[in-house]
Structure 1
Amino acid sequence: MSEVVKLRWFGHACFRISGDITVVIDPFHERDVGYPTPKTRADVVLITHDHFDHNRADVIEGDFRIIRTPGVHEVMGVTFRGIPSYHDSSRGRLRGENTIYVFEMNGIKFCHLGDLGERLSDEKIEEIGDVDVLMIPVGGHFTIGPEEASELVERMSPRVTVPMHYKTPVIDFPIKPVDEFLRGKENVREFRESEVEVRLPERPEIWVLQYG
């Protein structure tokens, strides 16, 4: 059993969480997004919704299990809970549905919100439960924006918040940069690396990773 969990951000909404098993979330191809195509193996690939910039499981190597639906999924001793939500604030009429994933690895509880576009109800937040590491979209336009993301972080109270799905020099999407989410916030850690070991802080922090 691995005692170390590492978190890597490939860019956009794509992450790799490596511990007892390796999980990749929302992979993409570089010609669709601009970030380099993730080159990695996985045991599990999570797809939050079936849009071109989130669903390219074909770029991932290995004999992996794909999860793309709400519900409870057991893989290699890890329980993945998929919680239904919407990609927009119109109950999915504009951009469809989105699956929030919650799972625990090495005692650390992760939550990836996908392309969340709605304000979550108190009941939905209760269903998600306590979260240690929250991966949250902050760029707006296609998802919740900086203000909505800030409010949601306050309501969910994760130990670590990792912003995603925001404007960078390599992505040509009409979304906002991470600075708008970070404005006025304390305990922001900006890393030079794309991959970090997950050590939960005593006080809540925001982790800004490099893509790659």
Structure 2
Amino acid sequence: MKIRWCGHSCFLLTADSGLKLLTDPFDETVGYPLPTVAPDVVTVSHEHFDHNAVKVLPGTPDVVRGPGEHTVRGISIVGLATHHDDAGGARRGENTVFTMALDGLRVTHLGDLGHPLSAAQIMALRPVHVLMIPVGGYYTIDARQAKEVVDALNPNLVLPMHYKTDVMDFPIAGVEPFLNLVGGGERLRSTTLEVTPESLPERRRVVVLDYM
């Protein structure tokens, strides 16, 4: 499977079969270049403009929203109900964490998770091979909370997302505070990473991808 970071919380997963799954598409106001690929499947963690902009995508993908078990184009996708804040959703609403089973891997995208995970939620999500986690704070968990989530889920591969870069003006932190807490990360200087069950690191690997 190939994983490409398109910016913000948007990743393109390309299976060995060629099937393309896109997470949390953003609109043109966010600052990153819009994805130009036509995905087969799109997951939307919640209904904010920087995560639900399916309308900007080419093609007519199948769109997955909300908690529960979904099977789309042969892919198993499980949504776990969480909140966008630490007040039970009172401030920013609900959020769905999606786990996709693809090419023998369990890929978990936390969306705009806004609170620490409960013991029951941790048990429901594990095992996690690839974790896409927000680290910028303000709208989501911050660097410290993100580290706690990583420690609890113990994924093989960690891909930070939803952090400040030079193309956006959101009031969130960059990736560095998170990297400092987890002992550093590997900057690939690439938008894309290829992952297989055989190539999964035994020890946790934190990778920072470029968006272009």
Relative to structure 2, which stretch is displaced further, 186-195 or 133-142?
A: 186-195
Structure 1: gaps of 5 or more residues? none
1:63 is displaced (CA, Å) by 3.1
- Relative distance call for 1:143 and 1:155 in structure 2 (3 A) is same
1:187 is displaced (CA, Å) by 6.2
- Match in the other structure for 2:112: 115
CA distance in 2, matches of 1:185, 1:153: 9
- Match in the other structure for 1:49: 46
CA distance in 1, matches of 2:122, 2:57: 31
- Match in the other structure for 2:9: 13
Per the normalisation by structure 2, the TM-score is 0.95
CA distance in 2, matches of 1:35, 1:148: 26
Retained in 2: the 8 A contact 1:29–1:36? no
Give me the identity figure in percent. 44
One-letter amino acid of the structure 1 residue matched with residue 60 of structure 2: D
Retained in 2: the 8 A contact 1:39–1:59? no
CA distance in 1, matches of 2:93, 2:150: 23
CA offsets per residue over residues 125-158 of structure 1, 9 Å max, x none? 1111200000000000000000000011001000
CA distance in 1, matches of 2:144, 2:5: 22
Per the normalisation by structure 1, the TM-score is 0.95
CA distance in 2, matches of 1:27, 1:7: 15
Question: In angstroms, what is the RMSD of aligned CA positions?
Answer: 1.1
- The alignment covers a number of residue pairs equal to 207
Retained in 2: the 8 A contact 1:29–1:38? no
Relative to structure 2, which stretch is displaced further, 14-23 or 187-196?
A: 187-196
One-letter amino acid of the structure 1 residue matched with residue 111 of structure 2: G
Structure 2: gaps of 5 or more residues? none
Relative to structure 2, which stretch is displaced further, 21-30 or 150-159?
A: 21-30
One-letter amino acid of the structure 2 residue matched with residue 127 of structure 1: A
CA distance in 2, matches of 1:69, 1:48: 7
Relative to structure 2, which stretch is displaced further, 70-79 or 142-151?
A: 70-79
